[in-house]
Amino acid sequence: MDLKKKKRSSSPEEDLSAGKRTCCRKTSTTEDERCITKRSRSPEEHPIDGKEEKRIRVDTKTPPSLSITNYRLMKELGKGNFGRVMLASYAIKDQLVAVKIMPKKNGKEFKYVRGEAQVLQLGRECPFLCRAFTTFQTQSHLMMVLEYARGGTLESLIKKQKNMNSQKILFYSSEIAVGLQFLHAKGIVHRDLKPENVFLDEQGHIKIGDFGLVCTNTVEHKTLSGIYGTPGYIAPEILSEDPYDAAADWWSFGVIVYEMATGNLPFPPERNLKHHLKTIIYEKPRYPKSLGPELRDLLQQLLKKTPDTRLGVYSNIRDHPFYSSIDWVKVERKQLVPPVKPKMRSVAGLCNRNIPFPKEDPRETSVLENFSYVDPSWQE
Ligand code: ATP
Ligand code: MG
């Protein structure tokens, strides 16, 4: 078994055994061309530790939202294989945003970035998905300007709360469920659903994020393949290298609910990764006695090894007795009151920060076509 932890091992196109291409939103080519014509910035705009001045390729005609000169980096929010996520301030609107900065790596990651950008653009249609305000590129970097989820991640909330009561589980899981159902209805499978990729906004509502491993255009194509995700959250059919579909996300959802309820994973990590993965494929999780009967049944229905019999696939999760007190219309309208008001990450003291953008690589020649995007709410 060749498990690639959070690695983009094959292209989304390769994932679709039906041979279907992932679809991507078309925008005008000239926008991207505009973004990569040359213009250097003054040292005042982004001083670089007394070293040589960076050259950023942007055109004077570029709309302000697509020019990195209008973003001031203040602090790192996260770091990964892809690059970095930075807290930034957008000068034109004086608004905090999260900027995901990815080196182009000679175009190696372009297919994944396309899928990610496509879903981030859909974010404006569902309140429980992280959305992009703009996406654009410089000579050697791809930039995604995202709404800043100021309340941290569900992962840190679970760590703080240890095991949550039913009221909290109901709130968080119902908002995630609405977000997931929205994605699945559009033919999108997330493939890396875990508390670290579920953010909280400043009121404490959910934002599903990190669409770097999504598979798009999956409606009526039940046969995705390739091992993607994070051990502990990956569905058994993926680990068995069987064809899989959106049911895999419902497994990961079940793992998250289990974690909220108990503070642990249903299959806790082991020293021997192979053994850990075999446990996920073949063994049953332990359900602590403290779980109420409805919550226990919900978990049992979600953590079914056979995907076609899993809750979320064979029947609508909204109809499960655990959610009998939930008004789903209110959930969809974001009208439930969050049970925890997140402790806001302070930005005091960051106002004068101006971290330099990563250096441009003059040898980078790849261009991701049709990547420039501005959300309608972000137009000047
Ligand atoms: P890796 O490939 O290493 O797993 P990643 O693909 O998981 O990285 P993201 O999950 O998108 O990248 O971002 C990494 C971290 O940055 C997140 O776990 C979160 O802490 C922070 N982050 C990302 N987007 C936002 C956002 N919109 N608002 C606030 N924080 C964010
Ligand atoms: Mg992530």
Give the residue carrying structure tokens 């990610």: 116
Degrees to nearest 5, angle at CA 133 with 151 and 172: 35
The residue annotated as part of the active site, out of 32, 59, 94, 192, is: 192
Return d(Cα 201, Cα 172) in angstroms, integer. 12
Q: Does residue 8 lie in a domain region?
A: no
**Number of structural domains the chain divides into:** 2
Return d(Cα 179, Cα 340) in angstroms, integer. 19
Tokens of 301: 């229905």
Q: Does residue 29 lie in a domain region?
A: no
User: pLDDT by residue (tens digit) across 29-49?
Assistant: 222 222 222 222 232 233 323
Tokens of 322: 């655990």
Please name the amino acid found at residue 291. Answer: L
Q: Which atom of ligand 1 approaches the CA of 130 most closely?
A: 27
Give the residue carrying structure tokens 């990563």: 358
In terms of domains, do 48 and 197 share one?
Answer: no
pLDDT of residue 108: 86
Q: Which of 5, 85, 206, 350 to mutate to test the pocket of ligand 1 (most atoms within 8 A of CB)?
A: 85
Return d(Cα 156, Cα 75) in angstroms, integer. 19
Q: Which atom of ligand 1 approaches the CA of 207 most closely?
A: 27
109 lines ligand 1 (CB under 6 A): no
212 lines ligand 1 (CB under 6 A): yes
The residue range of the domain holding 228 is: 154-332
Which residues, in sequence order, are CB contacts of 202 under 8 Å at separation 6+? 150, 151, 342, 344
Cα 349 to chain center, whole Å?
28
Q: What 3-state DSSP class applies to 15? A: helix
Q: Does residue 192 lie in a domain region?
A: yes
In terms of domains, do 168 and 52 share one?
Answer: no
Q: Does residue 259 lie in a domain region?
A: yes
In terms of domains, do 224 and 304 share one?
Answer: yes
Of 77-86, 180-189, 288-297, 345-354, give the lowest mean pLDDT range.
345-354
Q: Does residue 88 lie in a domain region?
A: yes
In terms of domains, do 174 and 297 share one?
Answer: yes
Q: Which atom of ligand 1 approaches the CA of 148 most closely?
A: 28
User: pLDDT by residue (tens digit) across 147-179?
Assistant: 999 999 999 999 999 889 999 999 999 999 999
Q: How far is the CA of 152 from the centre of ligand 1 (A)?
A: 10
User: pLDDT by residue (tens digit) across 179-237?
Assistant: 999 999 999 999 999 999 999 999 999 999 999 999 887 766 666 677 778 889 999 99
The pTM of the full predicted model, rounded to 2 decimals, is 0.84
Give the ligand at the shortest distance from the Cα of 213.
1
Cross-strand partners of 136: 143
Classify residue 194 by its DSSP letter.
S
End-to-end alpha carbon distance in the chain? 50
- State the CATH number of the domain containing residue 141: 3.30.200.20
Q: Is 51 annotated as a binding residue?
A: no
